Amino acid sequence: MSKWSKKLVELGIELPEVAKPVAAYVPAVKSGKMVFTSGQLPTVNGELIAKGHVGQEVTPETANACARQCALNALAAINSVVDLDQIEQIVKVTGFVSVAPDFVTHSAVMNGASDLLLEIFGDAGKHARTSIGVSSLPLGAPVEVELVVRLKG
Amino acid sequence: MSKWSKKLVELGIELPEVAKPVAAYVPAVKSGKMVFTSGQLPTVNGELIAKGHVGQEVTPETANACARQCALNALAAINSVVDLDQIEQIVKVTGFVSVAPDFVTHSAVMNGASDLLLEIFGDAGKHARTSIGVSSLPLGAPVEVELVVRLKG
Amino acid sequence: MSKWSKKLVELGIELPEVAKPVAAYVPAVKSGKMVFTSGQLPTVNGELIAKGHVGQEVTPETANACARQCALNALAAINSVVDLDQIEQIVKVTGFVSVAPDFVTHSAVMNGASDLLLEIFGDAGKHARTSIGVSSLPLGAPVEVELVVRLKG
């Protein structure tokens, strides 16, 4: 068992089953030394853990937990195409937060994803990030997160 | 004529003229073994085939056809910088759907793009995908799609 | 002093201090021959130069200036991980514009970013671009821009 797998065990984090895409695509694609994931929703066993707009039906605290779950699902997506231990660097995190027009604390929501990646990967988890507030997301999800990572070698 | 060109003919799909960017940029850029396209609108001969928000002025069925047209325009954009037959893999599809806040069936809309790519490229068309619901798109377009593809060799 | 640095001096453009990320991430990450930036807000010395939605509290002209400032901040972000003179090509510009649902002139706003890149980099600044209208952005920013660039060698 190598570095990241060991860290997951240490942190008591279990990688979920890869979320089944809701349509005609795949969870992640490897391109050379990079892996691009599909947008991941905050599902556990195929069910959204929250539904609605952040700042309305969904509290910022719940949304932060959703972003963490999205990131965990994104790691499971990567793990479906390459061994997680092949990750050299988390390159980019893009987070879409379903919000009303007056919402301004997208960053606090998306820290749920970033903090998980830093916990697991340390310096290799330091990523560029874009956070955006959108009208709505598939299935009524409050948050959606996609990752771009770099592989070793 | 190689693989993908032949498949297009077989399917009776004609690659459109590359859509002229609406501003100061280019349709696609090659970076090493990857090509990134600009966001493509559902235009035919420079005219939007539908206008407005999906679920309001635009039906989900029309929006699905729009997503297909966006993907076709994205292939034309790629074809403006490299021969389409150089494509090894469709890596990433990002779809932006102009919607009201209560819209939840983004995936059905974006399948218009994904299904086209699977028809043409088969296994090489299996991509990662992110679908997002946004407030509005350039020129009032109901859908906008961008592609990242990997080239052979 | 090499090409791009010289051009900046010639144009009288001073690269700002890199904007401090508003949360747990870094301004830019290098992956092989590419650099991905975080989403950049239109800040000068840490303060937003405008706040609100374009077409409402913020005029399209001000939003265009905001997009330019975002692009300048993105160059500063790249400069924090590699020398700007290492840039071979601006590959992709993604611009998020905070707007009401009836907004349609995203392209004119985003030209603020594109024009700056063309001024500085000439042909090497010709990029693919996606412009999107969103509900809201972090801190109430009217525009957010991210870049993907290719390095020489």
Minimum mean pLDDT range among A10-24, A34-48, B58-72, C139-153: A10-24
Give the confidence band of C62 by pLDDT, cuts at 50, 70, 90: very high
CB B139 within 8 A of CB C104: yes
Q: How far is CA B100 from CA A99, A134, B45, B58, C151, in A?
A: 12, 10, 28, 11, 40
What pLDDT score does C108 carry?
95
Yes or no: say if B76 and B18 are a contact pair by the CB < 8 Å rule: yes
Inform me whether the C-beta atom of residue A144 falls under 8 Å from chain B C-beta atoms.
yes
The per-residue pLDDT for range C74-86, each reduced to its tens digit, is: 999 999 999 999 9
**Angle A3-11/A106-121 helices, nearest 10 degrees?**
120
Residue with the two structure tokens 């949304």: A63
B146 Cα to chain A: minimum distance (Å):
14
Task: Please tell me the predicted confidence (pLDDT) of residue A31.
Answer: 96
| φ/ψ (deg, to 5) at A100 | -85, 160
* Domains of chain C and CATH, by start: 3-11+53-151 (3.30.1330.40)
Q: What is the pLDDT of residues B74-117, one digit of tens each?
A: 999 999 999 999 999 999 999 999 998 999 999 999 999 999 99
A1 — pLDDT class (breaks 50, 70, 90): low
End-to-end CA distance of chain B: 18
pLDDT beyond 80 at C24: no
pLDDT range class, residue A3, cuts 50, 70, 90: confident
| Residues within 8 A of B (CB atoms), A 103-132 only | none
Q: Strand ranges (DSSP E) for chain B?
A: 28-31, 34-37, 43-44, 47-48, 87-98, 128-134, 143-151
Instruction: Report helix angle B106-121 to B3-11, nearest 10.
Output: 120
Mean pLDDT of A85-105: 96
Cβ contact C32–A114 (<8 Å): no
Q: Do B25 and C91 touch (CB under 8 A)?
A: no
Inter-chain residue contact A104 with C139, CB threshold 8 Å: yes
Please work out, in degrees rounded to the nearest 5, the angle formed at the alpha carbon of residue A96 by the alpha carbons of A90 and A101.
145
Residue pLDDT, tens place only, C91-124: 999 999 999 899 999 999 999 999 999 999 999 9
* Between B28 and C12, residue with greater pLDDT: B28
The answer to whether residue C1 scores a pLDDT higher than 80 is no
Whole-number pLDDT of residue C64: 98
Q: What is the mean pLDDT of residues B29-39?
A: 97
What Cα–Cα distance (Å) separates residue B95 from each residue in B9, B107, B150, C93? Answer: 26, 9, 18, 16
CA-CA distance, A140 to C35, in Å (whole number)? 33
Residues C135-147, mean pLDDT to the nearest whole number: 97
> What number is the average pLDDT over the span C14-43?
90
Is the model's pLDDT at C63 over the cut of 60?
Answer: yes
- Summarize the confidence of residues C5-19 as an average pLDDT: 86
Q: Which chains touch B (3 or more CB pairs under 8 A)?
A: A, C
Contacts of A23 in chain B (CB under 8 A): 107-108, 110-111, 114, 129
Distance CA(A24)–CA(B115), nearest Å, equals 7
Query: pLDDT: is B2 or C82 the higher one?
Result: C82
Computed over every residue of chain B, the mean pLDDT equals: 94
Predicted pLDDT of residue B22: 67
